């Protein structure tokens, strides 16, 4: 679901243009922020009335979004017949794999889909018992894979995050959910969706689909002399659907309410036409804007009336981003494998950047550690040199005593120097530490040196890249004249290194 402040686009590509609706989520509601139709004046090649050159549509779409300052990246596309098949079918209670196999055979009965690579998604709507046999109503949709590939390519070119491809009739149902179609109402309702070239008759009980039927009908005839023929044909189809549902095992209930949603301007008043002809039935005009908050400063009353007719599908598609997990009609025609690969493709740069930062941090730590070790070695070298200079001064003084008369002043000077050296006896530990540090070879790092004066024990801790380097370092320390014994206490793997502990015992 959308986070507060996020927005999403509903998009429907037709031969007349691209319908766009942008919805934005706030703390209190979902707001309609834009609704337009982009004209497409291109020479794009068409395949059976469908665009197959996504670069043209992507260019028109990105240009429009940029000109309007729309920064939304999430998008849901709508797809209508004949490019998609949406059906409700009753099947025995079988496994999902067997159900998918059965649905593929069902779709192969349509000439446009037979023996072609396609994508199918389905949802179990409800379980029922028919003559003691457990069955399930299954809603499914099928589309050719090349059609989905087109939407994926278009989204990539336009730099959009494709959330899904939605069926047109399911998008309208979503827009009307909890407005004209109440989930708590158990009485069946017929929803009539009038498109440019067909009409879809859907029966819902609550927000669950119980019956779907399509009829081929041209709405362009409404504005001409064929208006009465169009209305009569629609009424005949409605009566047949009502009778079939009420008399068959599908429902066995009377339908008393009809909701009319027209997606074309010519049929905007069809609810009034049906009210005068279908007596005894409650006819209601659909309100696809009912779930949205509208800023009246952005949209005029005439504009909103037009949007409610022409943009119901894209509004419902955008609302897909708000589907709860329990919503029963949430099909997605992007295959699970493709959704996973798209998500990985999107997240890969983030992971790469994180690993790059992690590597830089590791290198920086290694450089700092190396500099500290070098600085410590340098300081210990200076201490060692001072100790050597002190020993030389003592040797020189003793030598001078052996060849010169021992005077009272010389004795006092010698006593003072001896007392000074004796007072600095702790520098012997500095000498040992310096020797330990200077013995470290490349690719070995020390982390701690601890001395137990009472027990004459020195412990050395550090890291190395191999066991051999640790053994070599133990041998080096074993040759030091002040140590009685040198033992490797432990060696453990830690990341890319070996952590070691060496114990050195001083000669008494």
Which single residue is written with the structure tokens 């006092």?
412
Q: Which two tokens stand for residue 50?
A: 């469908």
The rounded distance, in Å, linking the Cα atoms of 436 and 502 is 11
The partner residues of 135 in beta bridges, in order of sequence, read 92, 128
pLDDT digits (tens, 9 = 90+) for 4-18: 999 999 999 887 789
The rounded distance, in Å, linking the Cα atoms of 140 and 336 is 15
**pLDDT above 90 for 23:** yes
pLDDT digits (tens, 9 = 90+) for 370-383: 787 777 777 667 76
pLDDT digits (tens, 9 = 90+) for 150-166: 999 999 999 999 999 99
Give residue 425's pLDDT: 44
pLDDT level of residue 393 (50, 70, 90 thresholds)? low
**pLDDT above 50 for 37:** yes
pLDDT level of residue 350 (50, 70, 90 thresholds)? low
Q: From residue 294, how far is each of 23, 321, 435 by CA, in Å?
A: 10, 19, 80
Q: Which are the contacts of 293, defined by CB distance < 8 A and separation ≥ 6?
A: 26, 28, 29, 30, 31, 32
pLDDT digits (tens, 9 = 90+) for 457-493: 889 999 998 999 999 999 999 988 888 899 999 999 8
Rounded to 5°, the CA angle 224-226-231 comes to 115
**pLDDT above 50 for 44:** no
H or E element in which residue 35 lies: strand 30-38
- The pTM (predicted TM-score) of the whole model is 0.68
Dihedral sign, Cα of residue 438, residue 439, residue 443, residue 445: negative
Give residue 423's pLDDT: 46
Of 144, 151, 86, nearest in space to 112 by CA: 144
pLDDT level of residue 404 (50, 70, 90 thresholds)? very low
CATH topology of domain 180-286: Nucleotidyltransferase; domain 5 (3.30.420)
CATH topology of domain 1-179+287-334: Nucleotidyltransferase; domain 5 (3.30.420)
The partner residues of 506 in beta bridges, in order of sequence, read 483
Rounded to 5°, the CA angle 297-299-305 comes to 145
pLDDT digits (tens, 9 = 90+) for 103-147: 999 999 988 899 899 999 999 988 888 778 889 999 999 999 999
pLDDT level of residue 507 (50, 70, 90 thresholds)? confident
Is 346 buried (19+), middle (13-18) or exposed (0-12) by CB count in 10 A?
exposed
Q: 337 by DSSP, 3-state: which?
A: helix
Give residue 428's pLDDT: 63
Give residue 384's pLDDT: 66
CA neighbours closer than 13 Å in the CB half-sphere of residue 347: 6
The partner residues of 91 in beta bridges, in order of sequence, read 136
Look at domain 439-508 and name its CATH class: alpha beta
Q: From residue 360, how far is each of 321, 354, 364, 365, 367 by CA, in Å?
A: 38, 10, 6, 9, 10
The partner residues of 461 in beta bridges, in order of sequence, read 448, 501
């Amino acid at each position: 679901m959308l986070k507060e402040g996020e927005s999403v686009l509903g998009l429907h590509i037709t031969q007349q243009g691209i319908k766009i609706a942008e919805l934005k989520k706030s703390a209190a509601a979902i707001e309609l922020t834009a609704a337009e139709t982009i004209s497409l004046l291109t020479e794009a090649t068409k395949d059976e009335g469908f665009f197959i050159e996504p670069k043209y549509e992507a260019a028109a779409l990105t240009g429009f979004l940029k000109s309007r300052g729309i920064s939304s990246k999430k998008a849901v596309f709508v797809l209508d017949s004949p490019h998609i098949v949406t059906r409700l079918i009753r099947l025995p209670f079988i496994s999902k794999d067997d159900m998918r196999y059965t649905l593929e055979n069902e779709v192969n009965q349509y000439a446009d889909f037979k023996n072609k690579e396609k994508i199918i998604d389905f949802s179990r709507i409800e379980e029922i018992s028919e003559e003691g046999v457990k069955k399930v109503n299954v809603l499914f949709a099928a589309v050719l894979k090349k059609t989905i590939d087109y939407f994926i390519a278009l989204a990539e070119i336009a730099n959009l995050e494709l959330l899904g491809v939605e069926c047109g009739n399911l998008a309208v149902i979503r827009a009307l959910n909890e407005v004209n179609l109440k989930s708590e109402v158990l009485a069946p309702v017929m929803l009539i969706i009038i498109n440019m070239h067909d009409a879809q008759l859907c029966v819902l009980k609550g927000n669950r689909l119980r019956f779907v039927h399509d009829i081929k009908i041209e709405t362009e005839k409404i504005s001409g002399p064929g208006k009465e023929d169009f209305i009569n044909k629609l009424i005949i189809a409605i009566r047949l659907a009502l009778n079939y549902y009420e008399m068959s095992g599908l429902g066995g209930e009377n339908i008393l309410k009809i909701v009319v949603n027209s997606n074309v301007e010519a049929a905007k008043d069809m609810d009034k036409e049906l009210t005068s002809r279908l007596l005894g039935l409650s006819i209601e005009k659909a309100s696809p804007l009912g779930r949205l908050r509208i800023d009246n400063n952005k949209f005029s009353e005439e504009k909103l009336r037009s949007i409610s007719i022409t943009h119901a599908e894209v509004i419902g598609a955008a609302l897909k981003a708000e589907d709860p997990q329990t919503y029963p009609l949430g099909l997605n025609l992007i295959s699970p494998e493709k959704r996973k690969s798209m998500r990985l493709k999107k997240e890969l740069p983030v992971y790469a950047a994180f690993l790059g930062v992690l590597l830089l941090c590791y290198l920086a730590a290694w450089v700092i550690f190396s500099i500290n070790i070098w600085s410590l070695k340098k300081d210990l070298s200076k201490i060692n040199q001072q100790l050597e200079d002190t020993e030389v001064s003592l040797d020189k003084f003793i030598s001078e005593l052996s060849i010169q008369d021992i005077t009272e002043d010389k004795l006092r000077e010698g006593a003072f120097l001896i007392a000074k050296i004796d007072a600095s006896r702790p520098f012997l530990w500095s000498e040992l530490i310096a020797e330990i540090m200077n013995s470290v070879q490349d690719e070995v790092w020390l982390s701690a040196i601890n001395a137990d004066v009472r027990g004459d024990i020195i412990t050395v801790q550090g890291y190395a890249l191999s066991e051999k380097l640790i053994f070599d370092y133990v041998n080096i320390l074993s040759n030091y004249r002040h140590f009685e014994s040198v033992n490797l206490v432990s060696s453990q793997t830690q990341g890319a290194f070996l952590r070691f502990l060496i114990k050195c015992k001083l000669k008494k």
